[in-house]
Amino acid sequence: MALEIPSEKANPPYRVLLVDDDTYLLEHNAVALVRFGYNVDMAEDGAAAWNALHNDKVSYDLLITDNTMPRVTGLELIKKLRSEEMNLPVILASGTVPAEELKRHPWLRLDATLTKPFTEAELLDTVEKVLRATKKAAGSTRLFKDYAKLDVKIPQGATSARRPIPGRINLPYRILVAEDDSDIRQLSVDVLAGSGYDVEGVEDGAAGWEAFLTGKNYDLVVTDNIMPNMTGIEMIERLRSACIRVPVIMATEHLPTHEFTRKPWLKPEATLQRPFSNDVLLETVKKVLGSDEGGNAHIKMVL
């Protein structure tokens, strides 16, 4: 279902996907948004919304979704959205906001929440703020890309994920090793460092995820699966959902093949089943990084 504003008001307008199983609220909120100048598509639950998001003929600027709905809930919809690396801003508009679930899964990255009942003014104000923030962030990204193309000094405040160091063209690849067995972790770190890589070891997936959250950047992650606090597969899911495009090698005794089949977007770039030799580890790392020069690979600007 779609509601569109008259063509003379288009500039062009933002297109919003509005999801709610309450037909009255769905239509009421859609009319409010249309009156304010937005184009609106409506979906009665998360499953219908998911189909709409995969329509190649339509692209959306914002998703507003209820949570408790049949077939696919709002939270399930957002998880699927982030797992497929869709960078769409999201407003969760629900009678009960699942605060604990959101706290446990920060990678779901909600842009705003609205607790029902909310007023028309609150809805419009929240939508305007989220879209304004999204437009500002997109402008900052374009600004940095323009400076990078011109090869000029980047102004303070516009930073890349990883800057080249003056005077060093051939920087070593940076690798994160996540392994709860301290002996195996240290062995992997030593083997990789001995081949010229810049290596950091952490004790589990939670520590690995924290390393990324603190702004550290890696060219490769080598991870075990069964670990305390956060498994390897859970760390991969968070990385993929946060659109962190780092390649992953899963090195573990029991590969979660069923999980890879069920969620193919979580499948790592390579897998190693223990026990394996140091030579096999180094060869796999080299293949995944796509370099025949070991640790002396040219640095890549990550935007």
Residue where one domain finishes, among candidates 139, 155, 186: 139
What tens-digit pLDDT sequence spans the chain (303 residues)?
665 544 344 345 789 999 999 989 999 999 999 988 899 999 999 999 999 998 878 889 999 999 989 888 888 898 888 877 777 899 999 888 777 777 777 777 788 889 989 999 999 999 999 888 877 655 443 444 444 444 444 343 333 333 333 333 346 889 999 999 999 999 999 999 988 899 999 999 999 999 988 878 899 999 999 999 899 999 998 888 887 889 999 999 889 888 888 888 888 999 999 888 999 999 999 999 985 444 433 322 222
The verdict on 229 and 182 lying in the same domain is yes
Closest CA to 183 of 230, 130, 224: 224
Q: Are residues 21 and 120 in the same domain?
A: yes
Domain for residue 254, yes or no?
Answer: yes
* 119 and 179 housed in the same domain: no
Of 139, 161, 185, which marks where a domain is finished? 139
Per-residue pLDDT at 291: 55
Tell whether 125 and 249 lie within a shared domain: no
- Number of domains observed in the structure of the chain: 2
Same domain, 25 and 110: yes
CB 4 within 8 A of CB 39: yes
Query: Both 110 and 178 in a single domain?
Result: no
Same domain? 7 vs 122: yes
Q: Is 146 helix (H, G, I), strand (E, B) or coil?
A: helix
pTM of the predicted protein model: 0.47
Classify residue 88: in a domain, yes or no: yes
**What pLDDT is stored for residue 136 in this prediction?**
63
Q: Look at residue 156 and tell me if it is in a domain.
A: no
CA distance 16 to 61: 6
Which has the closest alpha carbon to 245: 262, 269, 261? 269
Asked whether residue 107 is domain-assigned, the answer is yes
Domain end marker among 116, 139, 162: 139
**pLDDT (0 to 100) of residue 176:** 96
Residues 120 and 185 in one domain: no
Together in a domain, 134 and 194: no
Cα–Cα separations (whole angstroms), residue 195 to 77, 118, 185, 210:
43, 59, 16, 26
CA 220 to chain centre: 16
Note whether 119 and 216 are same-domain residues. no
The verdict on 190 and 131 lying in the same domain is no
Does residue 301 sit within a domain? no
Q: Domain limits at 181? A: 174-289
Residue 162: the pLDDT is 36
| Phi, psi angles (nearest 5°) of residue 39 | -90, 135
Q: Are residues 6 and 135 in the same domain?
A: yes
Read off the CATH number of the domain in which 88 is found.
3.40.50.2300
Residue 160 lies in a domain: no
* Beta strands at 39-43 and 15-19: parallel, antiparallel or unpaired: parallel
Query: For position 281, what pLDDT does the model report?
Result: 94
Exposure b/e, 167-187, CB count within 10 A at least 16 = b: eeeebbbbbbbbbbeeebbeb
**Is residue 149 one of the residues assigned to a domain?**
no
Residue 147 belongs to some domain of the structure:
no
Is residue 127 classed exposed, middle or buried when 0-12, 13-18 and 19+ CB atoms within 10 A define those classes? Answer: buried
